[in-house]
Amino acid sequence: MTSAPICPHPIRSYHFEQSPRVSTSLSFNPPPLSSLQQTTIATTMMTITDTQLGTIANVLGSLTMILIVIYHFVNVNSKSKK
């Protein structure tokens, strides 16, 4: 099986052929989970709702602003060494 060159330039013409040794399908089949593992995974992997994500973003943003104000307050009121 021959393939046409991708680039017509004679110096830089490349032929790409798939090697018969390379497998393109995944053949990994994980072992089945027990019922305890299934319930543990189901209870620990929950999707975050838009409301929760917004709340987390607002809390982290507010905390960041408070820390910035505290940092500047401490930095301005510190005794400088002369």
2-45 pLDDT per residue, tens? 565 565 555 555 555 555 555 556 566 777 777 777 766 666 66
Per-residue model confidence (pLDDT) at position 47: 85
How many Å apart are CA 72 and CA 19, to the nearest integer? 62
CA atoms within 13 A on the CB side of 21: 0
Using a cut of 0.95, tell me whether the model's pTM lies above it.
no
Q: Which residue has the higher pLDDT, 30 or 63?
A: 63
- Tell me the average pLDDT across 52-62: 97
CA distance 78 to 14: 67
Residue that wins the pLDDT comparison between 53 and 18: 53
